[in-house]
Chains A and B, each alone.
Chain A
Amino acid sequence: MLSSALVVAADAAFAVKSGPVLAVWKGPFGWSGDVDYHGVVTYALEIENTGASIAQDVYMTDVLPANVTFGGWLAQNEARDGVRQRERRIPFRGDAYRRLR
């Protein structure tokens, strides 16, 4: 009795994604020049991920300087549940997705 076996072999290569690359940017928004005495300054704060992977569990904090008071949010992004003003600290904990290419 003859028997035959068919063997199929295949190779596959996978590249492991490079890690996330994070940068934080902060600056006055829609305003240029010096601040008026007891004036209002609007800050824009951005965490950017230029890497290839999602940066999960990112922790960001911004401590307000002594000579200002928090005036309110203009944009909390979609992380509003994770962003709170607490003891003059503005903390955020969440994920920063990779830049779409």
Chain B
Amino acid sequence: MSDSASVAFRFAVTHTGGYGEWITNTAQVEHWFAGSEWYTDTAWVKTAPELEIRKAVEPLGSLHAGDLLTYTIEIENSGESNAVGTSLSDTLPGGVDFSAWVRQNGTSLEGGRVISWYGSVRPVRRRRGSG
């Protein structure tokens, strides 16, 4: 060992537990003269994704035959983790036909009547401790 003032180690661990828990790790050093010292480190594992879907239609009120309806679908993730592998499907009701995308954002139309989407929804919540 070289004449250094410190001995350093670095290692990696993989989390295997659940969402929303603490990883608490304590190191202890002992010496017959210097005594014992502890150092505890804690790290927070992000909570699970929490998905909410909202759907709005315009215009509101009574319609005439042949009027256009615009639907807006929004998925929001209020958890702390990315919602990987999220899928969405929306089957058009009877009495309407698909007309056009206003904002497609990766969605597709299957069979002319089912709107579908697959992807990740990032959290909107700020990271813990970031104010």
Are A45 and B27 in contact, with the CB atoms below 8 A? yes
Q: In whole angstroms, how far apart are the Cα atoms of A69 and B21 in the complex?
A: 15
Residues of B near A21 (CB, < 8 A) are 34
Report how many residues on chain A are interfacial, defined by Cβ distance under 8 Å: 64
Closest chain B CB from A65 CB (angstroms): 5
A91 CA to B108 CA, complexed, in Å: 56
- A residues adjacent to B (C-beta < 8 A): 19-29, 33-51, 55, 57-79, 83, 90, 92, 94-100
- Beyond known contacts A20-B34, A35-B46, A92-B9: 8 more, CB 8 A cutoff: A36-B82, A49-B34, A67-B21, A68-B23, A70-B12, A78-B1, A79-B9, A96-B31
B118 surroundings in chain A (CB, below 8 A): none
Contacts of B101 in A (CB 8 A): none
